[in-house]
């Protein structure tokens, strides 16, 4: 069966051990394997502690890949919505926090673990086939903005909660994000703004509206959770994937670690998000998926992406003597 049907962490990594050496084998020397992972919640009944704890699954993954010859480059932190998480796990409830704050943990971020296959020539660390970027296309200014993730905002004053009362949630979210990135963070102001919105009946209970944004390039708080193939599945009434992958995350990795025309591989294809994004980014995509429903739906998405990417322009028609 698939790796999701394993008894425990040890059993999982035992089976993953059949795959990881093959990933190292097929990866070009010096290139990167990016692993999207999240730590696991252990119910109190299983841990024996009587309260939920965290299994550092991401740390085990790092140890596993290193054991199989990969070099660990680092991790990107992808902040998740703590309110949405609590609606699924019930481990961070407001009521329980008020009963006993000592048993409460914190939200579980996702991680993007970056592993590299050592290059053939280890004298300078460059890949056998480097991922080259043109400075005309990838300017110093663009690099600085990408690296620091700082978003400027006009207006040097606090946001008046009354100004937010009539705004839709999407605009409140963006306004608070931009304001927070452009000013020194004030925890008490953050809390008071949320309290004011709650009094107005404008603070949602199903998702976190005022998320603390990050300006650090290795902590990503701007991943759009609604931009996944799962959302398209839901709209069409088709089966949704258990672990949806956001386009934003995949797009960034593809842009940073590959070049146009190259092949991007995902051993756990799911709805084929990775090859879908690869095609849209001018790369080729390859993936493996055991679930026939996911595979069929994913193949359709990839076919649609390929048609969109290959659509000829008027200049293409002219060169072929059609126009």
Predicted pLDDT of residue 265: 97
The fraction of the chain above a pLDDT of 90, given in percent, is 28
Q: Measuring CA to CA, which residue among 152, 103, 124, 114 is closest to residue 36?
A: 114
The residue among 182, 198, 220 that closes a domain is 220
Q: How far is CA 68 from CA 18, 32, 63, 127, in A?
A: 10, 14, 9, 19
Asked if 321 and 230 sit in the same domain, the reply is yes
Average pLDDT value over all residues in the chain: 77
Where do we find the tokens 């659509």?
311
Q: For 2-48, write each residue's pLDDT tens digit.
A: 677 888 889 999 999 999 999 999 999 999 999 999 898 888 888 88
Asked if 212 and 240 sit in the same domain, the reply is no
Q: For 170-180, write each residue's pLDDT tens digit.
A: 777 777 777 77
Asked if the structure places residue 125 within a domain, the reply is: no
The vertex-113 CA angle with 110 and 118, nearest 5°, equals 175
Instruction: Answer whether 279's CB lies under 8 Å from 262's CB.
Output: no
The residue among 194, 220, 246 that closes a domain is 220
Cα 66 to Cα 115: distance, rounded to the nearest angstrom: 8
Q: For 263-319, write each residue's pLDDT tens digit.
A: 999 999 888 889 988 999 999 999 999 888 888 888 888 888 887 765 444 344 444
Asked if 38 and 53 sit in the same domain, the reply is yes
Domain encompassing residue 144: 136-220
Query: 164 pLDDT band (50/70/90 cuts)?
Result: low
Asked if 250 and 293 sit in the same domain, the reply is yes
Q: Measuring CA to CA, which residue among 109, 124, 125 is closest to residue 32?
A: 125
Asked if the structure places residue 140 within a domain, the reply is: yes
- Mapped to the 3 state alphabet, what secondary structure does the chain carry? CCCCCCCCHHHHHHHHHHHHHHHHHHCCCCCEEEEEEECEEECHHHHCCCCCEEECHHHHHHHHHHHCCCEEEEEEEECCCHHHHHHHHCCCCHHHHHHCHHHCCCCCCEEEEEEECCCCCCCCCCCCCCCCCCCCCCCHHHHHHHHHCCCCCCCCCCCCHHHHCCCCHHHHHHHHHHHHHHCCCCHHHHHHHHHHHHHCCCCCCCCCCCCCCCCCCCEECCCCCCCCHHHHHHHCCCCCCCCCCCHHHHHHHHHHHCCCCCEEEECCCCCCHHHHHHHHCCCEEEECCCCHHHHHHHHHHHHHHHHHHCCCCHHHHHHCCCC
Asked if the structure places residue 274 within a domain, the reply is: yes
Q: Does residue 243 or residue 274 have the better pLDDT? A: 274
pLDDT at 148 over 60: no
User: Structure tokens of 22?
Assistant: 């093959």
Asked if 322 and 229 sit in the same domain, the reply is yes
Asked if the structure places residue 196 within a domain, the reply is: yes
Cα 9 to Cα 7: distance, rounded to the nearest angstrom: 7
Predicted pLDDT of residue 17: 95
Asked if 192 and 239 sit in the same domain, the reply is no
Asked if 57 and 103 sit in the same domain, the reply is yes
Asked if the structure places residue 3 within a domain, the reply is: no
- Tally the domains of the chain: 3
pLDDT at 250 over 70: yes
């Amino acid at each position: 069966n698939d790796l999701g049907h394993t008894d425990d962490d040890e059993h999982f990594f035992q089976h993953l051990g059949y795959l990881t050496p093959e990933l190292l084998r097929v990866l070009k020397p010096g290139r990167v394997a990016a692993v999207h992972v999240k730590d696991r919640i252990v119910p109190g009944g299983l841990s024996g502690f009587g309260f939920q704890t965290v299994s550092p699954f991401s740390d085990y993954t790092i140890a596993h890949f290193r054991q199989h010859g990969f070099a660990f480059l680092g991790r990107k932190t992808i902040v998740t919505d703590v309110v949405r998480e609590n609606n699924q796990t019930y481990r961070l409830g407001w009521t329980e926090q008020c009963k006993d704050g000592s048993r409460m943990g914190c939200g579980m971020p996702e991680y993007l673990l970056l592993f590299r296959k050592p290059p053939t020539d280890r004298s300078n660390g460059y890949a056998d086939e480097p991922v080259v970027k043109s400075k005309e296309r990838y300017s110093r200014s663009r690099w600085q903005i990408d690296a620091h993730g700082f978003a400027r905002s006009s207006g040097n004053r606090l946001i008046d909660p009354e100004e937010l009362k009539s705004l839709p949630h999407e605009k409140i979210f963006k306004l608070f994000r931009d304001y927070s990135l452009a000013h020194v963070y004030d925890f008490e102001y953050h809390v008071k703004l949320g309290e004011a919105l709650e009094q107005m009946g404008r603070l949602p209970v199903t998702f976190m509206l005022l998320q603390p944004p990050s300006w650090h390039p290795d902590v990503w708080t701007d991943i759009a959770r609604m931009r996944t193939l799962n959302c398209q599945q839901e709209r069409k009434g088709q089966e949704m994937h258990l672990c949806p992958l956001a386009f934003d995350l995949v797009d960034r990795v593809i842009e940073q670690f590959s070049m146009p025309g190259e092949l991007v591989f995902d051993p756990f294809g799911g709805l084929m998000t990775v090859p879908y994004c690869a095609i849209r980014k001018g790369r080729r995509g390859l993936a493996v998926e055991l679930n026939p429903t996911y595979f069929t739906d994913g193949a359709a998405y990839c076919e649609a992406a390929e048609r969109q990417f290959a659509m000829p322009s008027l200049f293409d028609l002219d060169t072929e003597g059609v126009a």
